[in-house]
């Protein structure tokens, strides 16, 4: 059952958000909650059917929404989708990088091209989107006034805080994403008044990540040593995103908020 939001409905009123991977999973829940809180939503993704159905659902909720096909690995797609978003809604305030690639594989079975593919999607894709969006997000950028810049939110993970089995590629990719978050927060915060933050979700129920990466057996075992004894919900991630994207988070820059119920630091009781 969906929880109601503790935020006022207008916390993102008038904002325009573009979300890569915003048509499914955690990305879609962020799209929905941003829309319910006043934002207009553009979604970028590779699969037309996913985009169409996400946009239809958002519109049925009264949320102004549009979908653009594109692959974050292609600079021309990034540029085109960002330009189309601005053409459609007049400006861009929030970029959410939620597109990610993943599969479980041991290092010895992972080809260098497989490794590169995930880094291309998660890390290079995030950089490319930020790079192409800068001219619209910066203070005084197209469609914005000269008093404030926009914000960037990068969806990360906690895998690389320690080490995670069969996730060498994703761990490396998300470590790079966290580093991008800090570097851009420093440089673009200073020069362009853009805030750049991340969210590192723990295990979230009902997502592709969980079904692909954590078979049944893991989710039941997890409960034995998870501090909060339960999986997170997509809603939990969306609420953290709302906090960071709204004025409530206006002094937060360069941080990646861990939303995992305390899981990454826990050890079995003995």
Which residue ranges make up the site for ligand HXC (CB under 6 A)?
A: 100-103, 105, 110-111, 113-114, 117-118, 157, 159, 170, 208-209, 212-213
Q: How many CA atoms lie within 13 A of 158 on its CB side?
A: 15
- Our CB check for ligand HXC shows the closer of 40 and 156 to be 156
The pair of three-digit structure tokens given for residue 35, joined into one six-digit string? 């829309």
Cα(251)–Cα(90) distance, rounded to whole angstroms? 26
- Our CB check for ligand HXC shows the closer of 194 and 200 to be 200
- Write down the least CB distance from residue 116 to ligand HXC, Å: 8
- Our CB check for ligand HXC shows the closer of 157 and 242 to be 157
- Write down the least CB distance from residue 259 to ligand HXC, Å: 12
DSSP H helices in 97-207: 112-119, 125-137, 168-192
**SS3 of residue 242 by DSSP:** helix
- Write down the least CB distance from residue 83 to ligand HXC, Å: 24
- Write down the least CB distance from residue 117 to ligand HXC, Å: 4
- Our CB check for ligand HXC shows the closer of 194 and 259 to be 259
- Write down the least CB distance from residue 94 to ligand HXC, Å: 20
At 135, give phi and psi (nearest 5°). Answer: -60, -20
Cα(10)–Cα(6) distance, rounded to whole angstroms? 12
> Which 8-state DSSP code applies to residue 90?
S
- Write down the least CB distance from residue 103 to ligand HXC, Å: 3
Bridge partner residues of 44 (DSSP): 20, 68
- Our CB check for ligand HXC shows the closer of 101 and 249 to be 101
Cα(182)–Cα(216) distance, rounded to whole angstroms? 35
Give residues with Cβ within 8 angstroms of 135, minimum separation 6.
141, 142
- Our CB check for ligand HXC shows the closer of 45 and 150 to be 45
Cα(118)–Cα(215) distance, rounded to whole angstroms? 21
């Amino acid at each position: 059952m969906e929880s109601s939001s503790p935020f006022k409905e207008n916390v993102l009123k008038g904002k325009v958000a573009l979300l890569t991977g915003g048509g499914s999973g955690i990305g879609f829940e962020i799209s929905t909650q941003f829309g319910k809180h006043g934002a207009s939503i553009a979604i970028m993704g590779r699969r037309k059917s996913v985009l169409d159905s996400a946009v239809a659902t958002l519109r049925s909720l009264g949320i102004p929404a549009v979908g653009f096909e594109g692959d974050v690995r292609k600079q021309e797609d990034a540029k085109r989708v960002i330009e189309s978003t601005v053409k459609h809604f007049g400006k861009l305030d929030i970029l959410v990088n939620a597109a990610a690639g993943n599969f479980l594989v041991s290092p010895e079975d992972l080809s260098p091209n497989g490794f590169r593919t995930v880094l291309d999607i998660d890390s290079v894709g995030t950089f490319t989107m930020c790079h192409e969006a800068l001219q619209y997000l910066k203070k005084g950028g197209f469609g914005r006034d000269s008093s404030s810049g926009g914000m960037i939110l990068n969806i990360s993970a906690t895998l690389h805080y320690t080490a995670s089995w069969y996730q060498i590629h994703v761990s490396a990719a998300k470590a790079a994403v966290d580093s991008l978050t800090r570097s851009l927060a420093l440089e673009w915060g200073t020069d362009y008044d853009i805030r750049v933050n991340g969210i590192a979700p723990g295990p979230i129920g009902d997502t592709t990540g969980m079904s692909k990466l954590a078979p049944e057996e893991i989710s039941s075992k997890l409960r034995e040593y998870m501090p909060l004894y339960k999986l997170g919900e997509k809603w939990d991630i969306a609420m953290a995103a709302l906090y960071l994207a709204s004025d409530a988070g206006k002094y937060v820059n360069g941080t990646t908020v861990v939303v995992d119920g305390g899981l990454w630091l826990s050890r079995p009781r003995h």
